A and B are shown apart, each in its own frame.
Chain A
Amino acid sequence: MAFRKRNVVLGRPPSDTAPVKESALGVKPSSLSSHTVTSTGTPSLDALLGGHGGLILGSSLLVEESGTTDFSGALLRYYAAQGICHGHTVHIVGVGEHWVRELPGLLEEKHAGRREVTASESERMKIAWRYENVGVVGERGAPAAPSRTISSPGREIDTPFQHSFDLSKRLSIPSDAQIHTLQTTPNSTPFESVIHHLERSLKTSAPNTIHRLVIPTILSPAIYPPHASRPENFTRFLHSLRALLLQYSDKLTALITIPLELYPRTSGLIRWAEHLSDGVLELTPFPHLMDASNSLAESGGARGNEDQPQGLVHVHKLPVLTEQGEGGAGGENSIGDDLAFTVSRRKFAIKPFSLPPLEGDQDAQKDAGKLTGKDVEF
C-alpha cells in the first residue's frame, strides 16, 4: 500500500469535516480573531465593531440616544428581525406583542440588488480614483479585506449572514420562530424575572441555538417603574447579565437602548452601565432636523435625499478591543471618529461625517460658473 498517504491515521474519517458547532445559522468566524460573530442586522454597524465584521457572541451593546427621537429603535428592530430571519431565539423585554408585529420586513432582493449596485457604480465614477481604496467606516488603516463588508452591498445581500430590511414593510414571522416577550414585574425587583427567564432558557436550549436579548429604551418611565433605576436593581441586573454573557459566551448577545434625557452620561449610574456593557454607542440626532437637512442638501453636502446625515454617532467602547486595553488606537478602531447616521426606509447607514462647504462659497462658485468668454475682455 505504498500509494496510501502516510500521515493519515488509518480507520479515522478525514479530519476536514466541518465541526458540528458551525451548523448554527447566522454566525461566522471573526475576520480578525478566534471569536464568533453574528450580524446586528445593520451592515454599517457590523463594520464599526472593531473590524470583527459583526457583534461577537457573548457581548452586549449599549446604544444611548439623546433627545426625544427614537433612531436607536430602528437599530433594535433590525437586530431583532435579523435574529428571527436566522432562527435565533429572541427575548424582548418590556414591550408587548405589538412591537414584534411591527418589525421591518425583508427587502425584495431583486429590486434591492439592482438599486444598490447602480448606486455604488455611479459613486465610483464620480469619486477620484485615488479615494477608491479609502474604504468604509471602521476600516481605518486596515490593509486586509478591502471593500468587503458594506462597500459591495449587492453581493452581500445574497449571503445569509446579513439581510436587508424595509422599515415600511412588516416582517412575516414564521410560525416556528422562538420569540419571547418578557414583562418586567412591577414589584420591588423588576428585572429579576428577566434574568431568571433568560437563565432558564439558556440552560434548556440546544447547544447550537443562538439567543438575542433585546431591551428597548431601558429605564424609560413609560415602561419601567421609577425604582428600576436604583443601583440595586439596574446595575445589579446589568452585572447579572454580564455574568450570563460570560457563562454562555457562545450563545448570547444583547442590544440595549437607553434614552439619555433623564439619565445623562455624566451621571454615575450611566457610567456604570457603560462599564458593564461590552460596547457603547451614542447617537446624537441633529436638532431641528428638517431645516438642517434642507440646508445641507442645498449646499451640496449630501448627494441624494437619502444620504442626508441625521445625527452624529460616537463610539465610546468596543467589544473585546477595549477590554484588552487598546483604547482609541489601532486600525479598524472607530473610537473617536467623526461619524454620522442616516435612517431611511431601507437602511440605517453610518458614514464618516464631513461638514458641507459654506453657503457663501457656493454663491462664489455659482458666479464663477457664470463667467463665460463674453465676460472676459482683453
Chain B
Amino acid sequence: MSTRNRIPQLLEPYFRLPPELSLILLTGTLGCTPTWLTSLYVSSILSPQQQQQGEAYTVLLVSWMRDLKFWKTQIRRTTGLDLSKLASEQRFHFVDCTSTTLQHPSTSKDILESTVQQMQSVLSKIESHQPKSRTILILDNPDILLATASTTASNLHQALLPLRSRVHATIVSLTADSPFLAAAAAAATEEASKSRFSPVEVQTSAFVVLMAHAASFVVGVRELLTGAARDVSGVVRITRGGGAYEGDEAGDVKEVEALYLVQRDGGVKVFGRGQMGG
C-alpha cells in the first residue's frame, strides 16, 4: 500500500487524531464541497503509520449524498488507500443512506429512526468484533434529513447524541451556503423578521449552529469572494468551535485561513494568500 503523505503541511495539526468524544465540523458550499477533507480524514485515520503507533482505529462512514463507489474512487485517487481491502479487514464500514427517501417514499416519519438503528447495529458489530478498536464516526451531509423535511434540527441532534457517545470521535460535514445561514444571522440580529424564512432554511441553519457550538473546531471551505480563479479552488478556514472552550485538550487550536487548490489528479495544495501554490 502507498505510504505517501498527502496531507498538506499547513493543515497537518488538524489531522491529528481527535481527542475522545470530540466533534469536528466540516462545512462546504455549492461550488466547494468538503469531500477532499473527508477523504483526507479517512486516510489519515486509517493510514498504516497511524495503525503502527497505537491502538487500532475503525471508521464508520455514513453518507446521505454519495455512494460507496464514489468514496472508493475518491479516496483511492486522492490518497491511494484501498477501501475494499480495509473493508474486508473490518476496519472500514459504510452505511449508504442515499436511497433512504427512495425506500420510504410516503410522508413517513421513521426515516431518522431506521437510519439510526442501522448505524447502531453496525456499531454493535464493530464492538463485538474488535472490542479494543476505537471507532471514528463520519457523517456526510446528514442535513439532507432536514432538507427533505424528514426531521427537525433538535430531533436530529438528539438522535446523534447516543451514537456519538458510543464512538471515539465524530466528524460531520454539512452545507453552509449563505441562503441557509441567512436565517441564523437574521435571528441573531433582528427578531421580528424571523417569519421571512422557510422552515427548511431555519432547520438547516439551526443544525449548523448547533454543531458549530459542539465542535472542537470547524473547517470551512468556500468560494473565493472575488470569483473563480484558475489556480485556486477556494478558501479553507479553520476556527475554534464552541467545544474548544470546554475541555483543555482541544483548547490550543490555532485559527487559520488559507487558499487551497485541488488538482485534477486529486492532490491538494494549501497556501497563504499571495503565495504560489507549492
Chain B residues positioned under 8 Å from A335 (CB to CB): 31, 228
B29-54 vs A, Cβ < 8 Å mask (1 yes, 0 no): 01111111100000000000000000
Q: How far is the CB of A313 from chain B (nearest CB, A)?
A: 14
Q: A231-B149, A316-B30 are in contact. Are A268 and B228 (CB under 8 A)?
A: no
**CB distance A231 to B180 under 8 Å?**
no
Known A267-B179, A269-B198, A274-B30: A330·B263 in contact at CB below 8 Å: yes
User: Which of A141, A242, A243, A267 touches B230 (beta carbons < 8 Å)?
Assistant: A141
* Contact present for B35 and A325 (CB under 8 Å): yes
Does B105 have its Cβ within 8 Å of any Cβ on chain A?
Answer: yes
In whole Å, how far is B106's beta carbon from the nearest beta carbon of chain A?
Answer: 7
Q: How far is the CA of A38 from the CA of B264 in the complex (A)?
A: 22
A329 touches B149 (CB 8 A): no
In-complex Cβ contact of B106 among A189, A231, A249 (8 A): A189
Contacts A192-B106, A326-B262: A268 and B204 contacting too (C-beta < 8 A)?
yes
A239 beta carbon closer than 8 Å to chain B: yes
- Residue pair B70, A243 in contact (C-beta under 8 Å): no
Binds A, one of B94-102, B120-128, B155-163: B94-102
Q: B147 contacts A328, CB within 8 Å?
A: no
Which residue on A lies nearest to B31, using beta carbons? Answer: A327
Say if the beta carbon of A67 comes within 8 Å of chain B: no
Confirm or deny: B201 has a beta carbon within 8 angstroms of a beta carbon on chain A: yes
Contact with A along B177-213 (1 / 0, CB 8 A): 1111011000000000000011111001000000000
How far in angstroms is the closest Cβ of chain B from A272?
Answer: 4
Set B31, B33, B107: member contacting A232, Cβ < 8 A: B107
Contact A268 B31 (CB under 8 A): no
Q: Point out the residues of chain B lying under 8 angstroms from A316, CB to CB.
A: 30-31
A:241-266 near B, CB below 8 Å: 242-244, 246-247, 249, 265-266
Query: Considering the chains assembled together, what is the distance between the CA atoms of A177 and B102 in angstroms?
Result: 28
Task: With A239-B101, A247-B99, A323-B35 as known contacts, state yes or no: A272 contacts B228, CB within 8 Å.
Answer: no
CB distance from B75 to the nearest CB of A (A): 11
Nearest-neighbor residue (CB-CB) of A272 within chain B: B147
Q: Judge whether A280 is part of the interface by a CB distance below 8 angstroms.
A: yes
Q: Are B36 and A324 in contact (CB under 8 A)?
A: yes
Q: How far is the CA of A249 from the CA of B66 in the complex (A)?
A: 12
A247, chain B: closest CB distance, angstroms: 7
Within 8 A of B (CB), among A265-287: 265-272, 274-276, 280
A240 adjacent to B105 (CB under 8 Å): yes
Which residues in chain A, 281-322, are within 8 Å of chain B measured between CB atoms?
316-317, 322
Query: Which of B16-24, B80-88, B131-139, B231-239 interfaces with chain A?
Result: B231-239
Instruction: Tell me the bound Cα distance from A328 to B230 in angstroms.
Output: 7
Asked if A323 meets B200 with Cβ closer than 8 Å, knowing A141-B230, A195-B105, A243-B101, the reply is no
Q: Number of contacting residues on A, CB 8 A?
A: 49
A342 proximity list for chain B (CB < 8 A): none
B7 an interface residue at 8 Å Cβ cutoff?
no
Asked if A209 is at the interface (CB within 8 A of a chain B CB), the reply is: no
CB nearest to A337 among chain B residues: B228
Interface bits B234-278 vs A (CB < 8 Å: 1, else 0):
100000000000000000000000000111101010000000000
Choose one: A236, A271, A326, A333; the contact of B148 (CB below 8 Å). Answer: A236
Chain B residues with CB below 8 A from A269, complex form? 198, 200
Contacts of B180 in A (CB 8 A): 268, 271
Least distance between B246 CB and chain A CB atoms (Å)? 31
Q: How far is the CA of A48 from the CA of B106 in the complex (A)?
A: 37
Interfacial chain B residues near A276, Cβ < 8 Å: 65, 147
Asked if A322 and B175 make an inter-chain contact with CB atoms under 8 angstroms apart, the answer reads no
A244 vs B106: C-alpha distance when bound (angstroms): 17
Q: A239-B148, A269-B200, A272-B147 are in contact. Are A280 and B30 (CB under 8 A)?
A: yes
B218 at the interface (CB under 8 A from A): no
Most chain-B CB neighbours within 10 Å: which of A192, A231, A244, A270? A231
B144 within 8 A of A: yes
Q: Which residues of B contact A243 (CB under 8 A)?
A: 98-99, 101-102
Q: Is there a chain B Cβ closer than 8 Å to A30's Cβ?
A: no
> Quick check: B149 and A323 within 8 Å, CB to CB?
no
Interchain nearest-CB distance for B156 vs A (Å): 14
The chain B residue with its CB closest to the CB of A232 is B149
In contact, B266 and A324 (Cβ under 8 angstroms): yes
With A240-B102, A268-B179, A271-B175 given, name 20 new contacts (CB 8 A).
Answer: A231-B149, A231-B198, A232-B107, A232-B149, A236-B149, A239-B101, A239-B144, A243-B102, A267-B198, A275-B65, A276-B65, A280-B30, A317-B30, A322-B33, A323-B70, A324-B266, A325-B37, A326-B233, A327-B234, A335-B31
Instruction: Report which B residues bind A (CB closer than 8 A).
Output: 30-37, 65-67, 69-70, 74, 98-102, 105-107, 144, 147-150, 175, 177-180, 182-183, 197-201, 204, 221, 223-224, 227-234, 261-264, 266, 268
List, sorted by A's number, 5 A–B pairs whose CB atoms are closer than 8 Å. Answer: A267-B198, A271-B30, A275-B65, A323-B33, A325-B262
Please list the 9 inter-chain residue pairs (A to B) with the smallest Cβ-Cβ separation, ordered nearest first.
A336-B228, A328-B228, A327-B233, A268-B201, A325-B36, A243-B99, A232-B149, A231-B149, A236-B148
